[in-house]
Amino acid sequence: MRAWKLRSPLAAAMKQFIDLRRLSGTDYDSQGKLLEYFDRFLVEEKLSVARLRREITDRYQRRLVHLAPRSRGNRLSVVHQFGAYLARTDPFSYVPESPAGPASYAAHPPYIFSLGQVQALLTAASNLLPPGSLRPETYRTLLGLLYSTGIRIGEACALNLEDFHSADQRLHIAAGKFRKARWVAMSDSTCRAVEQYLGRRLRMPPHGPDSPLFLNGYGRPLHHATVHHTFRRLLEQCGIPHHKSTGPRLHDLRHTFAVHRLLAWYRDGQDVNARLPWLATSMGHVDIKSTQVYLRATPELIEHVDRRFHLYYQQHVKLLGGTPS
């Protein structure tokens, strides 16, 4: 499909806005494409003035009613950002409301894997064909890394050999979402698993520091579509009910990481609120609000929260001289 060329009366402002976001170090390619949809709409609506009006954004919102909540929210969010940019120099420019973030996930509620299901997936990955090849170890290590660190599948596939720092037990995510680099800590067992995988991986070229960490059977980087297809096959082998469009998805391992990390902190008696900023940083989020989307109230988590609250209630009432019920 031929790329859309911005040509509405707001095209020049859109180009400046996109360039400004990119200069700030943000990867605005995907958001820029969403802004192109809005520009196409403005052309179809025959917008004659270079100013954003409420009636035009309201009509655009009605035009998107057929889309899934998340897709609709993404498009409206970009229009909100663009409207806020225009309002800086034009006080009469309308700024549409920002869509609520968490509601966009309603169409695809995340699936939280149990520890037994994660272990079953890793075992199934170890038995992938062809036997004796690098493929079983590649997928076992990849899935284990996604579950134990919470990194995104795109970030995992983009890892190079130089990004694994065994001595420090850390991964360097050089190109995370919006091109934000970060360090991710690994547990002892995860680090050993990656080291064991590298023992086989380094028998195959390429070996340079900038060579891919994970390879397919042809010595090339793993492709997202192939990984997703293999993951669905593993779900079938493990007897985990799934649907191609609704999941469980590979991304749900990231949700599972967040919930299981929270559970571990509750079991260890740690201050969960104090640890949440660490979780947000590790997952590559700017603030805790983005991380909250991944924290699902599973029965086990609710049980631990209720138990801690009950203990706090007993101690608090006792200090006040009352009698806890």
Spell out the domain ranges in the chain: 11-105, 115-251, 255-319
Q: Please tell me the distance from the alpha carbon of residue 289 to that of residue 61, in angstroms, as a whole number.
A: 25
Provide the percentage of residues in the chain whose pLDDT is more than 90: 65
pLDDT computed for residue 41 by the predictor: 95
Cβ burial, residue 52 (10 Å; 0-12/13-18/19+): buried
Res 244 pLDDT > 60: yes
What is the value of pTM for the model shown?
A: 0.70
Task: Give the type of residue at 1.
Answer: M
Res 206 pLDDT > 90: yes
Average confidence score pLDDT of the chain: 88
- CA Rg, the chain, in Å? 24
The pLDDT, as a whole number, for residue 147 is 98
> Listing from the earlier edge strand, what are the strands of the sheet with 164-165?
164-165, 170-173, 182-185
pLDDT in the model for residue 209: 96
| pLDDT tens profile 43-80 | 999 999 999 999 999 999 999 998 888 889 989 999 99
Q: Say yes or no to pLDDT of 93 above 60.
A: yes
Active site residues: 152, 177, 251, 254, 285, 294
pLDDT of residue 4: 62
Position 80 scores a pLDDT of: 94
106 vs 80: which has the higher pLDDT: 80
Cα angle, residue 56 at apex, residues 55 and 60 outer, rounded to 5° = 115
Residue with tokens 């498009």: 75
Which uninterrupted H or E stretch holds 173?
Answer: strand 170-173
- Which helix (H) or strand (E) is 184 found in, with range? strand 182-185
Yes or no: domain 115-251 corresponds to CATH 3.40.50.1260? no
Strand partners, 185: 170
CB-hemisphere CA count at 13 Å for 90? 16
Mean pLDDT of 261-283: 92
Residue 20 pLDDT grade (very low, low, confident, very high; cuts 50, 70, 90): confident
Q: How confident is the model at residue 105 (pLDDT cuts 50, 70, 90)?
A: very low
Q: Is the pLDDT of residue 1 over 50?
A: no
> Which helix H or strand E contains 165, and what residues bound it?
strand 164-165
